[in-house]
Chains A and B, each alone.
Chain A
């Protein structure tokens, strides 16, 4: 593949007088794993929300595989191949793990009224294929979770819910996965386990590019190829973890002057 998969050019988001994201330049190649870091309120989640169509950008361009996707609604961004997880879990906790995964697989399912109500045998085949597909993904991701495919999400532990949320974003085989602070509310050990699962499943999805918002620098150092640092909506540094960590602007943003 030639050239970057995702090109973000001068992306700006404003809330009234506040500029939450200021002319951001960002590039992501197929297969890359990029960390997005910065203090609270620096615009990381805003960036995700602008990318996925939840916020409309004030200016700037976003292109995926050479196609302009700026300002498209979330549904079309998903169809184009960008999926995400949320900082605060957004699973349907009353539904089963399978149902939640299938919400994530929306673009590969049939949604016609006739197909759903009156062609039951075909629908049954489609459902059985998807049960097999879900089971396979869960087994690859975290084997014990596969046996809980039909349990309600409300009966799962926090880390399993995170896993389900990541799998929901992966099952449609996206080009780009956006992970919004998956370690929130988890212990170090749980975060480590989740990241191991993620790295393992990434092996099986060549070309999948991942952007990870994360506060734990140990995680960023271990899993990412490259880091982008935001502060007050602006990119203040970019490079390998080592380069970024020794950057004086970054140290000031995180630790204050002196």
Chain B
């Protein structure tokens, strides 16, 4: 099977093109330029899907999973270097990476196991508040704080899933909606957690180095401190991506697919439904919690208003837009959904309405999303 592996040059070309696109998308300011780029991205994705280019890139990527992640991380680092002193653009890039991380968690829950989670932002918030409290009131190293943020989000999620296991379909979704709304109300009335005013969070320290310090990198000149956070968020997203892909290419991914496609059949072949639902839900929420921890330290301030039900809907719409169950699809979808409203003032106010329309259009005309999920390929050169 090994002899048939393709070259990886399509991966490199695509990564460079994507990096160029992301740079322009974040850097340009004119409204018409942004619209042109967004329309261009969708058009390129659609037409390359139609002419089989996308398939070639995907095949090359699946033949070289490690190289693909490396090349893309390097391309993203290149974007960070190009934007080194653009505070706002870097903040957006970091936010996109954090949203990608949450949405990879949702992919695990919804795309694989079929559990709808309308409380994604609440688990992100749990992570953020955990990180805030721990970094304010303890001397734990910040990397550990971030790991704990993920674990706490996962743990609370695994309690929430207990009532969800007793319900099915829409009712399980309703449980998550209720939880998301309860979470925000809980924060607002809780004085220990700062109530509606929220909490200030100290910046991240990694091995004695403060990420909030501006740095000067010799010939590159001044570098925004957001660049450091963008790198952290990027590494987090890349790690989450690698983990999700590994999971998908294993028996675990198959078990989750079996749970999603037919519970009766899955149970009849020994698949322990609660076990795999709890696994997917907990692991997905851990990812959201870790992203929340980084977010709290990056933004320096968190408040209940940052964790709205509407944001959970945005997360779900990213997964649907990208292609349910395809981690790759999350990348362009998160970029569009996060950056577009920030760049286009016209949209800002109507963004929920706009994305609602977008989701309806997708479900109607292309239910499989921008980048539809492919067959599982357990390892490079699978089936060839």
Binding site for B on A (CB under 8 A): 52-54, 73-75, 78-79, 83-84, 86, 90-96, 99, 102-104, 106-107, 109-111, 113, 116-117, 120, 123-124, 127, 149-150, 152, 168, 172
Q: A124: nearest residue on chain B (CB-CB)?
A: B379
Report the stretch among B71-79, B83-91, B212-220, B251-259 that lies at the interface: B251-259
State how many angstroms separate the Cβ of A133 from the closest Cβ of chain B.
14
Name the A residues within 8 Å of B254 (CB-CB). Answer: 95, 99, 102-103
Bound complex: CA A85 to CA B243 (Å): 34
Which of A83, A103, A127 gathers the greatest number of chain B CB atoms within 10 Å? A103
> With A52-B268, A95-B261 in contact, is A117–B251 under 8 Å at CB?
no
Tell me if B251 and A102 are in contact (CB < 8 A): yes
State how many angstroms separate the Cβ of B200 from the closest Cβ of chain A.
37
Partner pick for A75 among B257, B261, B270, B376, CB 8 A cutoff: B270
A-B residue pairs in contact (CB < 8 Å), sample of 18: A73-B267, A74-B264, A74-B270, A78-B270, A91-B265, A92-B262, A99-B375, A99-B376, A102-B254, A103-B254, A103-B269, A106-B270, A107-B270, A116-B252, A120-B379, A127-B378, A150-B375, A168-B269
State how many angstroms separate the Cβ of A58 from the closest Cβ of chain B.
21
Name the A residues within 8 Å of B376 (CB-CB). Answer: 95-96, 99
Tell me if B257 and A99 are in contact (CB < 8 A): yes
Tell me if B264 and A111 are in contact (CB < 8 A): no
Partner pick for B250 among A53, A116, A172, CB 8 A cutoff: A116
Tell me if A109 and B251 are in contact (CB < 8 A): yes
Q: B373: nearest residue on chain A (CB-CB)?
A: A94
B368-379 interface bits toward A, Cβ cutoff 8 Å, 1 = contact, 0 = none: 000000011011
Name the A residues within 8 Å of B262 (CB-CB). Answer: 90-92
Q: What number of residue pairs across chains A and B have CB atoms under 8 A from each other?
A: 93
> With A95-B261, A116-B247, A116-B251 in contact, is A152–B375 under 8 Å at CB?
yes
In order of increasing CB-CB distance, the 5 nearest A-B pairs are: A150-B383, A92-B261, A116-B250, A90-B265, A78-B270
B256-290 interface bits toward A, Cβ cutoff 8 Å, 1 = contact, 0 = none: 01100110111111111000000100000000000
> With A83-B269, A152-B375 in contact, is A103–B258 under 8 Å at CB?
yes
Tell me if A54 and B255 are in contact (CB < 8 A): no
Bound complex: CA A120 to CA B245 (Å): 12
**CB proximity to A under 8 Å, residues B349-384:** 375-376, 378-379, 382-383
Bound complex: CA A91 to CA B250 (Å): 19
Within 8 Å of chain A (Cβ to Cβ): is B55? no
Tell me if A117 and B243 are in contact (CB < 8 A): yes
Partner pick for B270 among A79, A94, A116, A149, CB 8 A cutoff: A79
Name the B residues within 8 Å of A168 (CB-CB). Answer: 269
Tell me if B269 and A106 are in contact (CB < 8 A): yes
Bound complex: CA A141 to CA B206 (Å): 60
Tell me if B252 and A83 are in contact (CB < 8 A): no
Bound complex: CA A91 to CA B265 (Å): 8
Tell me if A84 and B268 are in contact (CB < 8 A): yes
Tell me if B261 and A111 are in contact (CB < 8 A): no
Tell me if A117 and B250 are in contact (CB < 8 A): yes
B128-143 interface bits toward A, Cβ cutoff 8 Å, 1 = contact, 0 = none: 0000000000000000
**CB proximity to A under 8 Å, residues B113-159:** none
Bound complex: CA A168 to CA B261 (Å): 15
State how many angstroms separate the Cβ of B145 from the closest Cβ of chain A.
24
Name the B residues within 8 Å of A79 (CB-CB). Answer: 270
Tell me if B261 and A94 are in contact (CB < 8 A): yes
Q: A84: nearest residue on chain B (CB-CB)?
A: B268
Given contacts A83-B269, A86-B265, A96-B375, 11 further A-B pairs with CB under 8 A are A74-B264, A75-B270, A75-B271, A95-B254, A96-B376, A99-B254, A103-B254, A103-B269, A103-B271, A107-B270, A117-B250
Q: A52: nearest residue on chain B (CB-CB)?
A: B268
Which of B257, B262, B269, B378 gathers the greatest number of chain A CB atoms within 10 Å? B269
Q: A105: nearest residue on chain B (CB-CB)?
A: B269
Tell me if A92 and B257 are in contact (CB < 8 A): yes
> With A95-B261, A117-B246, A150-B375 in contact, is A111–B268 under 8 Å at CB?
no
Q: A109: nearest residue on chain B (CB-CB)?
A: B251
Tell me if A74 and B267 are in contact (CB < 8 A): yes
Bound complex: CA A78 to CA B266 (Å): 11
Tell me if B268 and A123 are in contact (CB < 8 A): no
Tell me if A103 and B266 are in contact (CB < 8 A): yes
> With A78-B270, A106-B270 in contact, is A92–B255 under 8 Å at CB?
no
Which of B252, B264, B265, B279 gathers the greatest number of chain A CB atoms within 10 Å? B265
Tell me if B261 and A123 are in contact (CB < 8 A): no
